[in-house]
Amino acid sequence: MTTLYGIPNCDTVKKAQKWLTQNNISYTFHDYRKDGLDEQLLTSFLVNLSWLDLLNKRSTSYRALTSQQKENLDESNVIALFIEFPTLIKRPLLINEDKTILGFKAESYQAFFSA
């Protein structure tokens, strides 16, 4: 089963969805805002990725954090911030069985599904 995680208005998520559809890859889309985001789901992401990999430092949400929040980020408090501000998570996150890929590049997706 393939699940694409993100937010629907993200251009990169839209590109990933288009690629998956064009390549006839069946997937489920999980909208962080509509379908929810909780500690259990985030912990499952952290099995294959570090919280630093997931953290989107280019997001408006990250820039809006206080200096103190940025300086004190660690695995114990970043999950609460991810839940409060889902756009802090890099997008899209694609999980296919036990394999994970973060972000979207057509050539990366091609290699991901060819392996």
Domains of the chain: residue spans and CATH: 2-114 (3.40.30.10)
Q: What is the pTM of this model?
A: 0.92
- Residue 18, number of CB atoms within 10 A of its CB: 12
Q: What distance in Å separates the CA atoms of residue 45 and residue 42, rounded to the nearest whole number?
A: 5
Give the catalytic positions in this structure.
Answer: 10
Per-residue DSSP letter, 9: T
What mean pLDDT, rounded, does the chain reach? Answer: 94
Mean pLDDT (whole number) for 85-109: 95
- pLDDT digits over 8-52, tens only? 999 999 999 999 999 999 999 999 999 999 999 999 999 999 999
Q: What distance in Å separates the CA atoms of residue 70 and residue 21, rounded to the nearest whole number?
A: 37
Closest CA to 102 of 6, 34, 19: 6
